[in-house]
């Protein structure tokens, strides 16, 4: 009977409760609209002057940040199309640890441009194939935009140069200080083969109070608690790490002990004490002077540890325990007893410091190279410290990316403006309908300089006009630079001179225009030379962001139908009783 109802062709096909959104209902446009909503949420957080968001999750935990990955992690996005964008952003976080906002903003802009093309009458398949071709062109053009690279990854100044822009995007104004600190911490743990660098070796400890300038790098591990016993310091000591409780072992079964007189009672507790003393003496005789406990330390055990002059500290996180084992070179022991010599680790200094009213324990190796470095961050509020930690985390992840590809491109929106010019140039020579999609793809890149200008309070239209002018003049392959103001004809004759290769290199350098957005507007024009100002982005990060944003946009455009099943769930919870006041 249901099949005869008009406008319900699938009424007998699915179970009751299914929702079906078809292409005829404008499913693609609705998906694009949902994606644009999520984009507009994080778009204003792009760049050094990006606005912060306060997100309060379902547990009433407040997060204050301008990091897109964190914002989207805290938001519970349920729209399937918008979820695709969030997943692309999460993948960028996993792969590169930076430029998560760029993925969302670029994908949202690509979908916005696609909507214009759909309204013009293009089919989604034509837009998707056009975007695919434009992506290839953009990635090839990006390869040519290299203006610098990290020549020596073991040089602190070279490394800080690449980190400054990344950290500045999260913590504008503190980038110099934080970039140097991150570079110092990274170089302290950098292995012989840089590609084996592990981001987990850089730890962060946040201590409230003071200001960011009082932060420092410690070569080793810092725990936010003091040792449990009376011994607070040890030098050149052997370390034992126990993952079991340091206490009298409890029997698994219940036993009954019959005591006939007071002497038996006295001897019963005496035997327990003797047993504990022997166990601790065993540890002391093996040369161990520092005991790290993964769980509880009994009061009796603590008494004997103090008597034998051994430092004892509890580390309740199994992850921290594992990292400490890596630092001291110890094996975690699952039984209480004298360890083998190779199961013990060594530490140069264990000391208790007071930092801003908080007492912390520092495990430090004095040699040049260490397995773990810790940044002790100071700040006024917990939210601010959390945000600084995210900036540090981005910086450390970028170092990992630098070990893979150390090339740098101009930042401040300059690389994006170059891509606009280059992809649009190829689109003009492309036959067929694909050229429209490619031109819109090129225009999408202008969102980065526009958002940067808007968040800095500049007139975005005016700044973009200046950027277009600067980059358009530099667009032809043989361009005139400030140093050589020749016409195209004369510059073409240059490579025929003696130093042929050198001149070609010069021409390649001249092709790249590094004019970007001056967010501080120090020049008064709203534009600056990004390379001269040292505003440089990592090429591999941008390349991944472009790939993931394009892929996400193409996936959303390829969807023409969404079928949503009814949510699974048990019986409804009982509501309030309306007759509660009746007898």
Rounded Cα gap, residues 429 and 447, in angstroms: 24
pLDDT (tens place) for every residue of the chain, 583 residues total: 444 445 555 556 666 666 666 655 567 777 888 888 888 888 888 878 878 888 887 788 888 888 788 888 888 888 888 888 888 888 888 888 778 888 888 888 888 888 888 888 888 888 888 888 888 888 888 888 778 777 777 777 778 877 888 887 777 777 788 888 888 888 888 878 777 788 878 888 888 877 888 888 888 788 877 778 787 787 887 888 888 777 776 666 677 778 778 777 777 777 777 777 788 888 888 888 888 887 877 777 788 888 888 888 888 887 888 888 887 877 888 777 777 877 788 888 888 887 777 788 888 777 666 778 888 888 888 888 888 888 888 888 888 888 888 788 887 878 888 888 888 888 888 787 888 888 888 888 888 888 888 888 888 888 888 888 887 776 554 333 333 333 333 333 333 333 343 443 433 444 677 777 777 776 667 777 777 777 788 888 888 888 888 888 888 888 777 777 777 765 666 667 777 666 5
271 sits in which H/E element: helix 262-285
Three-class SS of 305-333: HHHCCCEEEECCCHHHHHHHHHHHCCCCE
E-only strand ranges, 69-119: none
What is the strand order of the sheet 407-410 is part of?
A: 148-149, 407-410, 536-538
- How far apart are the C-alpha atoms of 515 and 56, rounded to whole Å? 39
CATH 1.10.560.10 boundaries in the chain: 17-146+411-484+503-563
Residue 199: CB atoms within 10 A of its CB come to 14
Angle at 381 between CA 388 and CA 211, to 5 degrees: 70
Backbone angles phi, psi at 296, to 5 degrees: -75, 155
Residue 518: name the closest of 537, 503, 507, 532 by CA.
Answer: 532
d(Cα 89, Cα 106) in Å, to the nearest integer? 11
Which tokens sit at 196? Answer: 């084996």
Return the residue matching tokens 């808007």.
454
List of residues 6+ apart from 179 with CB closer than 8 A:
160, 163, 164, 167, 395
Which CATH number describes the domain made up of 216-379? 3.50.7.10
Q: Delimit the CATH 3.50.7.10 region(s) of the chain.
A: 216-379
- The three-state DSSP-derived secondary structure of 4-27 is HCCCCCCCCCCCCCCEEECHHHCH
- Residue 544 phi, psi (nearest 5): -65, -40
The DSSP call for residue 432 is S
- Taking CA 511 as the corner, what is the angle to CA 508 and CA 512, rounded to the nearest 5 degrees? 105
- The dihedrals phi and psi of 534, each to the nearest 5 degrees, come to 75, 25
The pLDDT value recorded for residue 492 is 36
The Cα 335–Cα 319 span in angstroms is: 19
**What does each C-alpha distance from 316 to 222, 287, 324 come to in angstroms?**
14, 24, 12
Confidence at residue 479, expressed as pLDDT on a 0 to 100 scale: 32
Per the CATH hierarchy, to which homologous superfamily does domain 17-146+411-484+503-563 belong? Answer: GroEL-like equatorial domain (1.10.560.10)
Say how many CA atoms lie within 13 Å of 203 toward its Cβ. Answer: 21
């Amino acid at each position: 009977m249901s099949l005869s109802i008009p406008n319900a062709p699938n009424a007998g096909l699915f179970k009751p409760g299914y929702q079906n959104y078809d292409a005829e209902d404008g499913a693609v446009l609705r998906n694009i609209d949902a994606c644009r909503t999520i984009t507009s949420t994080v778009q204003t957080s792009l760049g050094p002057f990006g606005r912060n968001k306060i997100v309060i999750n379902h547990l009433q935990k407040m997060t204050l940040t301008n990091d897109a990955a964190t914002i989207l992690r805290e938001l519970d996005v349920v729209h399937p199309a918008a979820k695709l964008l969030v997943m692309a952003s999460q993948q960028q976080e996993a792969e590169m640890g930076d430029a998560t906002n760029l993925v969302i903003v670029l994908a949202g802009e690509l979908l916005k441009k696609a909507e214009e093309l759909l309204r013009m009458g293009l089919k989604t398949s034509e837009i998707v194939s056009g975007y695919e071709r434009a992506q290839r062109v953009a990635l090839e053009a990006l390869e040519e935009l290299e203006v610098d690279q990290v020549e020596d990854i073991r040089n602190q100044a070279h490394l800080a140069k690449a980190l400054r822009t990344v950290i500045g995007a999260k913590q504008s104004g503190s980038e110099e200080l934080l970039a140097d600190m991150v570079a110092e911490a990274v170089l302290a743990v950098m292995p012989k083969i840089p590609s084996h660098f592990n981001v987990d070796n850089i730890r962060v400890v946040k201590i409230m109070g003071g200001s960011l300038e009082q932060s420092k790098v410690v070569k080793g591990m810092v725990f936010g608690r003091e040792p449990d016993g009376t011994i607070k310091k040890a030098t050149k000591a052997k370390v034992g790490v126990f993952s079991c409780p340091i206490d009298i072992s409890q029997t698994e079964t219940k036993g009954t002990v019959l005591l006939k007189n007071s002497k038996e009672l006295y001897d019963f507790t005496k035997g327990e004490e003797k047993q504990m003393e022997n166990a601790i003496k065993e540890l002391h005789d093996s040369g161990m002077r520092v005991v790290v406990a993964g769980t509880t330390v009994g009061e009796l055990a603590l008494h004997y540890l103090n008597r034998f002059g051994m430092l004892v500290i509890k580390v309740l996180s199994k992850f921290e325990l594992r990292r400490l084992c890596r630092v001291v070179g110890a094996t975690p022991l699952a039984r209480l007893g004298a360890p083998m010599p190779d199961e013990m680790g060594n530490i140069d200094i264990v000391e208790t410091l007071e930092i801003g009213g908080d007492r912390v324990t520092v495990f430090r190796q004095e040699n040049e190279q260490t397995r773990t470095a810790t940044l002790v961050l100071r700040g006024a509020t917990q939210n601010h410290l959390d945000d600084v930690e995210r900036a540090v985390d981005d910086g450390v992840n970028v170092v990992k990316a630098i070990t893979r590809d150390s090339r740098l491109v101009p930042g401040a929106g300059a690389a994006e403006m170059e891509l606009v010019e280059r992809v649009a140039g190829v689109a003009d020579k492309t036959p067929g309908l694909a050229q429209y999609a490619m031109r819109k793809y090129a225009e999408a890149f202008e969102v980065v300089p526009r958002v940067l200008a808007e968040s800095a309070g500049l007139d975005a239209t005016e700044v973009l006009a200046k950027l277009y002018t600067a980059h358009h003049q530099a667009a032809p392959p043989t361009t005139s630079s400030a140093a050589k103001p020749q016409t195209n004809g004369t510059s073409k004759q240059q490579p025929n001179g003696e130093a042929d290769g050198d001149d070609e290199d010069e021409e390649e350098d001249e092709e790249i225009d590094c004019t970007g957005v001056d967010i501080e507007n120090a020049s008064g024009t709203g534009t600056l030379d990004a390379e001269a100002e040292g505003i440089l982005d990592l090429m591999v990060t941008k390349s991944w962001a472009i790939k993931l944003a394009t892929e996400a946009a193409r996936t959303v455009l390829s969807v023409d139908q969404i079928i949503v099943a009814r949510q699974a769930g048990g019986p409804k919870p009982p509501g309030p009783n309306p007759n509660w006041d009746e007898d």
